[in-house]
Structure 1
């Protein structure tokens, strides 16, 4: 072979999130988002509310946590929905499909559990790859400052988005 490059195939496992993952996820979020994450409107919606562990997943290489995605129940007006995020991937593992796979696991689990609608705040170009679309301005708002073009939705059940209007709030 003559090459002094070592190629290692790393196996990434996607597993349901457990309470034991929380400390590692917090450290990952801290590295990825910094202290400003606590001021974000989406963070404030999730504050004090546990994610739905049956819909939230982690990515691991052995014991190393390399990604996480939470799903938290919210209300839009009186309509139940889920808030996706934060979706966090260790920088060395970005652009390898880890985030998309985490989202697919969460969206598939939510669909199978009978949920109809998932919302998030994020970049349309990235999240549209898994089916998210922009919420029309004024249809759904958040209780704090947010760029309305970054409020996105994914309909898991036909017609679920039609019923949702008003402000997002804790369930």
Structure 2
């Protein structure tokens, strides 16, 4: 189990996400990205899959940050992780919580044998962690993304050298939802489409 306290960020604990965190995580993601988050291209890589790694930041019993990474193929036969979403509660922004989650998740990815991480996000923010758009030029996503926001990081030097092809999901399938969960998910997608229109 991962459990890291950070004295520099008073009362903040980083730990592995548990099933008890799901509702708070989803509320945080809705607040940070809105319902249209379910329509993003990266969602196609997450849908129906379990994350490879999932960390949360907790302060005084409240979830204030989340980051998840998903198993993908960066072209044929080239395993990687897709990072996202990373979100921090408005009450904890500008306190370094996102940076702590990034460093912890990348460190965990490296020590568990992962060699490369991809993401779609704000280049100036993620470049401070070593991400670069240059590493993804030979790759494409299963939907539209702004090219300059499609970034890669090699945890092992050369892991993305010559990578070409479609990024596709490879992670373990999530357990099948019951009918009520499927109906709720369909209703959430419809609401997201209406809100985005």
Q: Same fold (TM over 0.5)?
A: yes
Q: TM-score if structure 2 supplies the norm length? A: 0.78
1:128 aligns with 2:127: yes
TM-score when scaled to structure 1?
0.89
Flag the 1:137–1:59 CA change in 2: closer, same or farther, 3 A.
closer
Question: Counterparts of 1:71 and 1:24 in 2: how far apart (Å)?
Answer: 18
Match for residue 4 of structure 1? none
Q: Does 1:147 align with 2:135?
A: no
- Ranges of 4+ aligned residues in structure 1 off by more than 4 Å: none
Aligned residues: 161
CA RMSD of aligned residues (A): 1.4
Is contact 1:58–1:69 with CA below 8 Å preserved after alignment? yes
Instruction: Compute the displacement of 1:92 (Å).
Output: 1.6
Shift of 1:135: 3.4
Q: CA deviation at 1:18?
A: 1.6
CA–CA distance in structure 1, aligned partners of residues 64 and 136 of structure 2: 35
- d(CA) in 2 for partners of 1:108, 1:68: 15
In the alignment, the residues of structure 1 paired with residue 147 and residue 136 of structure 2 have an alpha-carbon distance, to the nearest angstrom, of: 6
Change (3 A) 1:137 1:49: closer
Gaps of 5+ in 1: 1-8
Structure 2 distance, partners of 1:62, 1:144, is 39
1:137–1:149 Cα contact (<8 Å) kept:
no
Distance 2:69 2:162 in 1: 20
Describe the shift of the 1:136–1:106 C-alpha distance in structure 2 as closer, same or farther (beyond 3 A).
closer
Cα 1:162–1:30, aligned 2, differ >3 Å: closer, same or farther? Answer: same
Q: Give per-residue Cα distances to partners, 1:74-110, cap 9 Å, x unaligned.
A: 1122211000010010012111110111011110011
Is 1:60 aligned with 2:55?
no
